[in-house]
Amino acid sequence: MPFVGEHAARQKSPAQFIEGSIRRVTDNMPSGVALLIGENENTRLQEVQSIRFDADLWTPTKSKAWLKENEYESDSFEEAKEEVEKKTPKSWEAKPSERRTGSATNEPESATRQGAKEIKVSEAVEESLRNKVTEHNKKHGEKKGRKVNFRTLAAVYRRGAGAFSTSHRPGMTRNQWSMGRVNAFLHLVATGKPKSAKYTTDNDLLPLQHPRSVKKGKYDHINFRPPQSVADNAAKGLEYRQMAKPSQRGGLTTEEAGQAGIGSGVQRAVNLKNRDNVTPDTVGRMVSFFARHKKNAQIDEDKRGKPWTDKGYVAWLLWGGTAGETWANKIKRQMEAADVKKAWQVSVPISKLSTEKRLAFGWASVIAEEDGTPVIDHQEDRISVQELERAAYDYVQNSRESTEMHERKGVAELVESCVLTPEKREALGMPSGKTGWWIGFRVNDDDVWQKVKDGTYSEFSIGGSAKRKRAQA
């Protein structure tokens, strides 16, 4: 379908790309030209889905000439359609009287930011949401990753209320629009699929074990964005490639690479030049490429005056050059280090309650008994003092919030933390005792506090990651 004000040259069907991955890229492109780039669902590579041309700056003839010059397909070229009537506010746009900024009862970003305080809604809305929680969990709560809670639905409702201020279906109230979003979320949780493919904005609120949940991964601490030196090499490779005759151009186009069953150096260079985040698989491909083509790191002697004629050297640059080799190998080492880490988890009973202050105290982890006997975790491993201290300090510095059953966040806040070791006990003049991490929490969530009081929740559970090492005999 023609677009208003833009010529379009489709390269691949949008159906070939992972939902929500396509983005508009204009960096280092001529004025008025934009690439629509996304992750191919089959190849898992970043590929161009379409090229758009501003009709005010680019004629169809000029656009097609650029496509040919840059080796893009032009068979599926659609000229821009003219807008026949003056632009008017869309019927779905919120009226000025319907727009709201801020909230008198909720802190900024309370529906989106982790660790935000409990979301407040009216009593009527709260009752409705809690009924939805009960009804949903009765039908689907036993299935893995399908259980919901009030705070999550309140967050979805608040997001809907905020979105209403921008646009909504005519004739609907803010409450109706917000509840509609809640219902859409519940459908997604129950079925695993959204009613609309465009509905991805609440995936971060899904239970951790839900198939569409945005989970933290083992590589989350790694920066997969190429540095500027890599981007510069890729840009230089693309420049050299354009200077060479078509028959002498280094690197393969997406089509050529597909036929050969290997990665496209041209597409890789576009991604690197734009400093797009690469995938772990791409890092592996880069490392393999550099290992196979090490000889191409230097320009052939007879081509030093015209480096663009050295196809091997140009291909080397397209993949990021020597800077890309260094960076890819560094990222691979970081990934390998993350791969050898193991998850650990221990559970220890709550030791003390202060009912009037909603305080709960106890050992988050005990790694040695009073006589020094080591405590073995659920994976039959021992957590070292150093690893426990690292985890405790990191938690205090960067999180300080508690989850319910390792899923629902923000139910309690840390008020006390101390890693007790034999050395610390001696320095404080304390008698010998357990080695471990003592914590205290103030419970903010009514449902959780009730479960703590009635004994449903009787333990603290702590989890983390560590490197497994074989003990020396």
The helix-helix angle for 123-140 and 150-164 (nearest 10°) equals 120
Q: Is residue 428 part of a domain?
A: yes
pLDDT at 87: 42
Distance CA 359, CA 413 (A): 10
Residues 293 and 266 in one domain: yes
Question: How sure is the predictor about 110, in pLDDT bands with cuts at 50, 70 and 90?
Answer: very low
% the chain with pLDDT above 90 = 14
Say if residues 169 and 92 touch (Cβ distance below 8 Å).
yes
**Region for 410 from its dihedrals, namely left if φ exceeds 0, alpha if ψ lies in -120 to 50, beta otherwise:** left
Distance CA 136, CA 132 (A): 6
Provide the domain count of the chain.
4
For 288, the token pair is: 């393999």
Query: Which of these three, 287, 322, 337, is where a domain ends?
Result: 337
DSSP class of residue 167? B
Q: Is residue 312 part of a domain?
A: yes
Query: Which of these three, 318, 337, 356, is where a domain ends?
Result: 337
Residues 392 and 436 in one domain: yes
Q: Is residue 222 part of a domain?
A: no
Lowest mean pLDDT among 5-19, 52-66, 352-366: 352-366
Q: Is residue 74 part of a domain?
A: yes
Distance CA 312, CA 298 (A): 9
Distance CA 148, CA 373 (A): 41
Whether 378 has a pLDDT exceeding 50, the answer reads no
pLDDT at 92: 60
Enclosing H/E stretch for 188: helix 174-191
Say if residues 223 and 338 touch (Cβ distance below 8 Å).
no
Residues 310 and 353 in one domain: no
pLDDT at 217: 62
Whether 403 has a pLDDT exceeding 80, the answer reads no
Distance CA 390, CA 365 (A): 13
Query: Which of these three, 321, 337, 353, is where a domain ends?
Result: 337
Spatial CB neighbours of 206, under 8 Å, sequence gap ≥ 6: 145, 188, 189, 212, 213, 214
Specify the higher pLDDT residue, 161 or 97. Answer: 161
Say if residues 396 and 435 touch (Cβ distance below 8 Å).
no
What mean pLDDT is predicted for residues 445-464? 73
pLDDT at 103: 53
Q: Is residue 121 part of a domain?
A: yes
Lowest mean pLDDT among 1-10, 152-161, 401-410: 401-410
pLDDT at 228: 92
Tens of pLDDT along 414-427? 889 899 888 888 88
Distance CA 235, CA 228 (A): 10
Residues 415 and 305 in one domain: no
Residues 147 and 196 in one domain: yes
Q: Is residue 237 part of a domain?
A: yes
The helix-helix angle for 321-339 and 228-243 (nearest 10°) equals 140
pLDDT at 215: 55
Residues 386 and 441 in one domain: yes
The boundaries of the domain holding residue 25 are: 6-78
- Cβ atoms within 10 A of the Cβ of 144, count? 9
Residues 45 and 108 in one domain: no
pLDDT at 89: 46
pLDDT at 137: 92
Tens of pLDDT along 233-292? 998 888 888 777 676 666 555 455 445 444 456 777 888 888 888 888 888 888 988 998
Give phi and psi for 198, each to the nearest 5.
-80, -10
Residues 153 and 193 in one domain: yes
CA distances from 131 to 134, 141, 429 (A): 5, 14, 54
pLDDT at 139: 92
CA distances from 421 to 215, 329, 365, 391, 418 (A): 34, 39, 12, 15, 9
Q: Is residue 85 part of a domain?
A: no
What mean pLDDT is predicted for residues 193-198? 80
Question: How sure is the predictor about 320, in pLDDT bands with cuts at 50, 70 and 90?
Answer: very high
Distance CA 235, CA 268 (A): 11
Say if residues 53 and 63 touch (Cβ distance below 8 Å).
yes
Residues 297 and 198 in one domain: no
Site of tokens 């969530």: 445
Residues 346 and 450 in one domain: yes
Tens of pLDDT along 217-237? 667 778 888 999 999 999 888
Distance CA 210, CA 203 (A): 9
Residues 251 and 289 in one domain: yes
pLDDT at 106: 55
Q: Is residue 219 part of a domain?
A: no
Mean pLDDT over the full length of the chain: 78
Q: CA 240, 271, 250 angle in degrees (round to 5)?
A: 30
Give phi and psi for 22, each to the nearest 5.
-75, 130
Distance CA 462, CA 256 (A): 51
Residues 350 and 459 in one domain: yes
Distance CA 271, CA 318 (A): 10
The helix-helix angle for 228-243 and 311-318 (nearest 10°) equals 140
